[in-house]
Amino acid sequence: MRGAMCVLSAVAILATSGYAWAETHKVSDLATLERLLSTDSNVGDTIEVQPGTYALETAKIPVLRSGTPERPIVVRGVMKDGQRPVLDASKFNIQRGIFYIEEPTHDVIIENFELCNAAGGGRAGKEQPRNAAGVYILGSNITVRNCRVHHCENGLFSTHESDFVLIENCDIGFNGREQGVGEPHRTHSFYFNSKHQMVKGCYVHDSTDGENFKSRGTNNIFAYNWVDEECAYSLGVDSGNEQNTLWLGNVVVKRTYEGINQGRLLGVGDGTGVARGTLVALNNTFVTIFPRDLYLFTEQSSTCDVMLINNIFAGPGKTFLEKNGKGSVAGTHNWVAKLQEWQRMGPGATFDTGYVVSANPAVPETFKDTIFGENAGFADARAMDFHLVKGSPCIGAGVSAEEYAKAVKLVTQFSREGEQAKASPEWLAVLEIIERSAPALEPKKKATGAEPRRNAGAIDIGAYGYAGK
């Protein structure tokens, strides 16, 4: 009897404290999904969207309900035969995003969805701004995981109000307006502005209007991603960055077609704001495709300092740096291709190993311990297999573990604390991987996810560790 009374007392306490038991809601229509995310879900609930294709007939799916860091609201697509539920916005004008996560919504996880065809005009419904995204984020502690976002005006968009935004194992491709359609500003695969933002293990590719990854964030970690086939340029710190940016262990390949006039692979500043702080690029493999390509551009208003450590700069790009900004550019223990002329093989030709070597490209005098060479020791550069093989000059040629950890800490010292938001367990778990004493992962080729990296002794240069074969 005493045990029963204790249970009843506990239930009464929980009821009066406002605690609600977590529920799992199985959803097979958008009206129910919108209701749950707007008014009816509670802390710790899981919303399971059943397999199928769902055509939006409203301007957005507003996300207004919040969890806690320990008990988030999870919006999960139920996979069937490897396929995610599809939210298709091709029939209706979308207001900012298919999922519109409003401020001050917090502690929400969205996973296992295909989000496509978001546009602000040209369809049924009220005309909207022409920068609609798959997910539009104003909230905090938001995780988007294992989603595919394609053919939207922006792939993913976050605002300055958002904080602790984690994007993990997502395929973000073919996003951006058609040239000449809509507002004069560009659209991008990623347009991120969060106070703290982290992108890990993603395949980011084929932007159709602007950049593959555009950042105006305060503290930014971009790690273990494969990035290629952009419209303008691939990776940018375009403004903000007061609490520094880390590019870690990525493969970034310049587009294999000539496209518009942007020959730069990496950018610091875009002229619409001031890029500040420090950019640390650590253990990446950067690849140019055409001789006209340049690896790094800094815009004249930029004050951002750039540190390039343990990177491979491969390909025939004739210009290493176009420096217009006020910040310093320094590097150590990088492998840089000698200046090369590309031997084109006809229409559709891609990255090739057939080069005519002439001279070293101009790198800044602030670089030290640079390795210049004709061959980085890739398994198959033509097939874009950038794993290192036996005899590669990049094996064991990186900085010490102490120097590596110091470089990472320049960014991650700011990555745990927010003025208003508390970092989620999901965020902290990924941050622990980022802060290991050597690169922990390596990106998959043209795919989502990352695999464990081989680290045998001294740190290898580039995105891949030598596997001992």
Q: Which residues of 22-40 are buried (b: 16+ CB within 10 A; e: fewer)?
A: eeebebeebeebbebbeee
Q: What pLDDT, on a 0 to 100 scale, did the predictor assign at position 181?
A: 64
Tokens found for residue 356: 């005519």
Q: What pLDDT, on a 0 to 100 scale, did the predictor assign at position 420?
A: 83
**φ/ψ (deg, to 5) at 32:** -65, -40
Q: Give the C-alpha separation, 214 to 303, whole Å.
A: 17
Put residue 369 in one of left, alpha, beta given phi > 0 → left and psi -120 to 50 → alpha. left
Helix (H) or strand (E) holding 405: helix 401-412
Q: What pLDDT, on a 0 to 100 scale, did the predictor assign at position 351?
A: 43
Nearest Cα residue to 137 out of 155, 117, 162 = 162
Q: C-alpha 284: how far from its chain's center?
A: 14
150 assigned to some structural domain? no
353 assigned to some structural domain? yes
Q: What pLDDT, on a 0 to 100 scale, did the predictor assign at position 469?
A: 64
CA-based torsion, 282, 285, 286, 291: positive or negative? positive
Tokens found for residue 289: 């495709």
Q: What pLDDT, on a 0 to 100 scale, did the predictor assign at position 178?
A: 74
CB 155 within 8 A of CB 167: no
CB 340 within 8 A of CB 422: no
Q: Give the C-alpha separation, 61 to 50, whole Å.
A: 16
What residues pair up with 451 in beta bridges, in sequence order? 442
337 assigned to some structural domain? yes
Q: For residue 83, give the DSSP letter.
A: B
78 assigned to some structural domain? no
145 assigned to some structural domain? no
Q: pTM, whole model, 2 decimals?
A: 0.92
Q: Give the C-alpha separation, 35 to 318, whole Å.
A: 56
Domain that includes residue 355, residue range: 224-469
Angle at 276 between CA 274 and CA 280, to 5 degrees: 135
User: Would you give per-residue pLDDT tens digits along the chain (469 residues)?
Assistant: 444 444 444 434 344 344 558 999 999 999 999 999 999 999 999 999 999 999 999 999 999 999 999 999 999 999 999 999 999 999 999 999 999 999 999 999 999 999 999 999 999 999 999 999 999 999 999 999 999 999 999 999 999 999 999 999 999 999 998 765 666 678 989 999 999 999 999 999 999 988 999 999 999 999 999 999 998 889 999 999 999 999 999 999 999 987 766 789 999 999 889 999 999 999 999 999 988 899 999 999 999 999 999 999 999 998 899 999 999 999 999 999 986 543 333 334 444 444 444 444 578 889 999 999 999 999 999 999 999 999 999 999 999 999 999 999 999 999 998 888 889 999 999 999 999 999 999 999 999 999 999 887 899 999 999 988 6
The number of folded domains in the chain is: 1
Tokens found for residue 384: 């874009």
Helix (H) or strand (E) holding 393: none
Q: Give the C-alpha separation, 167 to 219, whole Å.
A: 14
Tokens found for residue 449: 């996810």
Bridge pairing between strands 53-55 and 367-368: unpaired
445 assigned to some structural domain? yes
Nearest Cα residue to 393 out of 455, 332, 466 = 466
CA-based torsion, 399, 402, 403, 405: positive or negative? positive
228 assigned to some structural domain? yes
272 assigned to some structural domain? yes
Q: For residue 338, give the DSSP letter.
A: P
Q: For residue 421, give the DSSP letter.
A: -
Helix (H) or strand (E) holding 4: helix 2-16
